Structure 1
Amino acid sequence: MPELLKVEALRAGYGEAVVLHDVSLALGVGETLALLGRNGTGKTTFINTLAGATRQHGGRIALGGVALDRLAPHQRAAAGIGWVPQERNIFKSLTVHENLTAVERPGPWNPRRVYEMFPRLAERKGNLGTQLSGGEQQMLAVGRALVVNPRLLLLDEPLEGLAPIIVEELLRAIRRITRDEGLAAIIVEQHPQAILAISDRTVVLDHGTVVHADSASALRAQPEVLERLLGVAR
């Protein structure tokens, strides 16, 4: 499988504070990586660093052979990074449709396809961001990342705080995006079993370093390892 993302000896954090220490990993075209770890271990910092929202102190990040290290966030989006941060960051003063068209780039994903995947958004396309529920805002955040037509989708705790019925709807959408559409993705999530089921590989961080890397199926089959690494059982 051709390599899409390569991260080598990455050191990054906020200001002078270094959170990630010598993190290295690679991701192939069309692969999905579950990025796991207890709270405060550097998962969000890693996602934010790929998106260009932290200070990189050392190492190298390349997407499709293109160095991202010195690129601004909007340049990384143009290079193929689609980012769904924890805060969602939708434009709350714009309508659902305006949120999508404001960032749309040429490619297979467009607002029509987003509405087909999330019928709730189609019903609310004229609603402002402030008029959406938390689950609808998350759907819009995912849709907005897709219409950028990325090569790599970054999802930072996409299921956090959502009702079970919305969680199931988002999981189906993520499974479709990654499994059926073949879009590469890195997913940070506090519900490991749900994400491991739709991932190819997994990396576990602890204190900003990689402490475990394996196939997702292998980690799912070892509840004792999940318990040791994350404090959760199957």
Structure 2
Amino acid sequence: MPELLSISELRAGYGEAVVLPKMSLQLAEGQVLALLGRNGTGKTTLINSIVGVTRRFGGSVALAGHDVTRMRPDQRARAGIGWVPQERNIFRSLTVEENMTAVAQPGPWTVERIYEMFPRLKERRKNFGNQLSGGEQQMLAIGRALTLNPKVLLLDEPTEGLAPIIVDELLLALGKITRGGGICSIIVEQNARKILGLADRAVILERGAIVHDAPSAALKDDAATLEKFLGVSGGTAH
């Protein structure tokens, strides 16, 4: 069985600038990958390249054995790439329910199932996107991505700027989502400790290249690597 997501020697960036010189990465079904690294190391560029919004200089991206390299971002979304960008990009002039039904594709993730995962969204289902709190907007962004019924879920800094209680709620939901079967996920997160407890595997980027790839549990106990590449000192996250 092929890997669910396979990136092979991908060379990508913006304009004339190459940010990812030769990226190869594979993910299996049910795998949660923590994508770590200091600012400017290529994490968001990798996510954007899987989505198809960067300039590709070479290499390929395959989803469930099908090459999606030449597909437009909207085609990749329909093929099974769900994306929650840092900006969330929800439709602010649509209601919570309209945000999800506007992009929904058939599959196990229905609007009702999203409401079970995030009861707060059900309570606010008639509210417009611009009437939601930051945490509610993030829940909606994740819910909307799930109604596409993706094979791969990409989350770029999903807990940034949110209250700790909302962060805990979101991370708990993300664990349930990926382990529900049929998908894998990549989560970009600044707080290494928080995400390592959720992920199975951790990859650290430096200058657009993978410098560390290990089970999350191993990295969590590797103080030297955390300090060297992430600036996490004394075994605690910042």
- What TM-score comes out, normalization by structure 2 length? 0.95
Report the CA distance between 1:128 and its aligned residue.
0.5
Aligned length: 234
Q: Secondary structure at the match of 2:33?
A: strand
Contact 1:179–1:198, Cα closer than 8 Å, also in 2? no
% same residue: 62
Report what 1:126 is aligned to: 126
Q: Secondary structure at the match of 1:103?
A: coil
* Alignment partners' CA distance in 2, 1:104 and 1:96: 13
* Alignment partners' CA distance in 2, 1:160 and 1:183: 23
Matches within 5 A, 1:18-37: 18-37=18-37
Is 2:227 aligned against 1:230?
Answer: no
Is 2:201 aligned against 1:201?
Answer: yes
Mark the runs of 5 or more structure 1 residues left unpaired by the alignment: none
Which 4+ stretches in 1 moved above 4 angstroms?
Answer: none
Is 2:220 aligned against 1:220?
Answer: yes
* Alignment partners' CA distance in 2, 1:48 and 1:167: 23
Contact 1:31–1:182, Cα closer than 8 Å, also in 2? no
Code of the aligned partner of 1:217: A
Matches within 5 A, 1:1-234: 2-181=2-181, 183-232=183-232, 233-234=235-236
Report the CA distance between 1:183 and its aligned residue.
2.8
Report the CA distance between 1:182 and its aligned residue.
5.6
* Alignment partners' CA distance in 1, 2:138 and 2:73: 20
Report the CA distance between 1:149 and its aligned residue.
0.1
* Alignment partners' CA distance in 1, 2:34 and 2:68: 21
Q: Secondary structure at the match of 1:48?
A: helix
* Alignment partners' CA distance in 2, 1:123 and 1:13: 41
- What TM-score comes out, normalization by structure 1 length? 0.97
Report the CA distance between 1:78 and its aligned residue.
1.3
Q: Secondary structure at the match of 1:3?
A: coil
Contact 1:6–1:25, Cα closer than 8 Å, also in 2? yes
Mark the runs of 5 or more structure 2 residues left unpaired by the alignment: none
RMSD between aligned residues: 1.1
